[in-house]
Structure 1
Amino acid sequence: MPDQQPSARPEGRAPMTDQEIEAAYVAAPPRLDGPVTLAPYDPRWPEAYAALAARIGERLAPLAHRVDHAGSTSVPGLPAKPVLDLVLTVPDPADEDAYVPALAPLGLRLVIREPDWYAHRLLRGAPAHPAADAVNLHVFPEDCPETARMLRFRGHLRADGADRDRQRARQARAVRAELDVHAAISGREERGGGGHPAPGGVRAEGLTRPGGWVRMCPEPDSNRNRARR
């Protein structure tokens, strides 16, 4: 499906609205109103990535592509949701016929389409590995600044123990904050109150958000962090 908008996100773009976030879903968006939980680092995560990347490579040959492991599960020693984040680089993500049908036998389904943000697509499925509950496969074009940013930060956290510790503390604070939000919402509902906007873009009525990706790094585009959980 060709994109009708520029593939790169314009600089200075206003934050996504709730309607834009919901519109990014290919089908009806799910409710994502449960608390985020982190698991201790599992040394099997790289193994799960490698196995899935090999299967993706087999399915996509001879399409020029690259598969990278991103997100918190790609950093040894860092706790994470047991969800693998993989980045698939292809010549043109808008050419969905070049990769979406080929990946369907692996249980990967297209769930998000964002033509105005580097032509980003997201496929989601099960990794067929006991170490992970799910996989998010992010599709970006070649030479994409977002892919470079993610991999640069991944490399930094792998190499810098102090910053890795700071990232671990940041994750813990984020989870505690979200748990506090959910506790407040539950108390309000028990008292008969309705849903209301909560800090960080979480809403009591379970506003759906594209993707499943909590960004590792506190770099720009924080609203996109909200858009992928």
Structure 2
Amino acid sequence: MRPVAVVPYRDGWPADFAELAGRLRDALGAEAVAVDHVGSTSVPGLAAKDCVDVQVRVRAVDRARQEPLLAAIGFRCRPEPWNRVEVSGGRECRKLVFAPPPGARSCNVHLRRADGPNSRFALLFRDYLRADGAARDGWGAFKQRLAASVPDLFDYGRIKAHATQVLMAGAERWAASTGWTVDGPDDPR
């Protein structure tokens, strides 16, 4: 059993992302259309697991081309089936997830098609929670209660995935009411 620790927001997470993003851009070169700080550590004030999520938007997910580039800097392609495909917007989307080199800062590097609904989902999640303090605080409190009552990481993730769908219904309403769209190529945070 792998325990779950959800911690208060840490001011150092954007700098951790920036360092990772630079290494990933250098390693992937033209393969990387954009490198985004996503997930809970990308939202100022949001409690999160101390694991930085990075989304690399690519033109096409191509393990044969991309895995050697990341392996050259020590990143390992995750073998689990759920790290190869995800459903977003009712569509099955290919992806690759990479773990950091042993002993390095905890992170997940997600390679997704730049124009894929799963790429949009990650950006909308981030931007909605950055814009709506009540949603951010409610989501953080939910994750802290869940981690306290369901300490196994796998079970925590499965339960949180269902709750995320409820959160994202609000995010979609927010996107429609504000005219939100996927914007620029890189997240500066």
Is the pair's TM-score, using the shorter chain for normalization, greater than 0.5? yes
Deviations 1:23-77 (A, max 9, x none): xxxxxxxxxx222111221111111111111111111113352111111111111
Deviations 1:186-213 (A, max 9, x none): xxxxxxxxxxxxxx974xxxxxx99xxx
Contact 1:52 1:127 survives alignment (8 Å):
no
Name the CA shift for 1:162/1:36 in 2 (closer, same or farther; >3 Å). same
> In structure 1, the residue corresponding to 2:119 is in which secondary structure?
helix
Deviations 1:67-122 (A, max 9, x none): 111111111111111111111111221x2132211111322111135257411111
Name the CA shift for 1:216/1:147 in 2 (closer, same or farther; >3 Å). farther
Runs of 4+ in 1 over 6 A off after TM superposition: none
Name the CA shift for 1:83/1:125 in 2 (closer, same or farther; >3 Å). same
The residue aligned with 1:45 is 13
Residues 1-229 of structure 1: pairs in structure 2 closer than 5 A: 33-93=1-61, 95-112=62-79, 114-115=84-85, 117-126=92-101, 133-179=105-151, 202=155, 218-219=164-165
Name the CA shift for 1:75/1:102 in 2 (closer, same or farther; >3 Å). same
Mean Cα deviation higher: 139-148 or 57-66: 57-66
Deviations 1:100-153 (A, max 9, x none): 111113221111352574111111115987xxx411111111211111112112
> What displacement does 1:217 show?
6.3
Name the CA shift for 1:128/1:90 in 2 (closer, same or farther; >3 Å). farther
Name the CA shift for 1:143/1:109 in 2 (closer, same or farther; >3 Å). same
> What displacement does 1:176 show?
2.1
* Unaligned stretches of 5+ residues in structure 2: 87-91, 167-189
Cα-Cα RMSD: 2.9
Give distance in 1, aligned partners of 2:115 and 2:123: 12
> In structure 1, the residue corresponding to 2:10 is in which secondary structure?
coil
Richer in helix (by share): 2
Contact 1:36 1:175 survives alignment (8 Å):
yes
Q: How many residue pairs align between the two structures?
A: 157
> In structure 1, the residue corresponding to 2:7 is in which secondary structure?
coil
Give distance in 2, aligned partners of 1:128 and 1:75: 25
Richer in strand (by share): 2
TM-score normalised per structure 2: 0.72
Contact 2:39 2:125 survives alignment (8 Å):
no
Contact 1:87 1:138 survives alignment (8 Å):
yes
> In structure 2, the residue corresponding to 1:99 is in which secondary structure?
helix
> In structure 1, the residue corresponding to 2:71 is in which secondary structure?
helix
Give distance in 2, aligned partners of 1:99 and 1:219: 30
User: Which has the larger Rg?
Assistant: 1
* Unaligned stretches of 5+ residues in structure 1: 1-32, 183-199, 203-208, 221-229
The residue aligned with 1:225 is none
TM-score normalised per structure 1: 0.60
Contact 1:73 1:84 survives alignment (8 Å):
yes
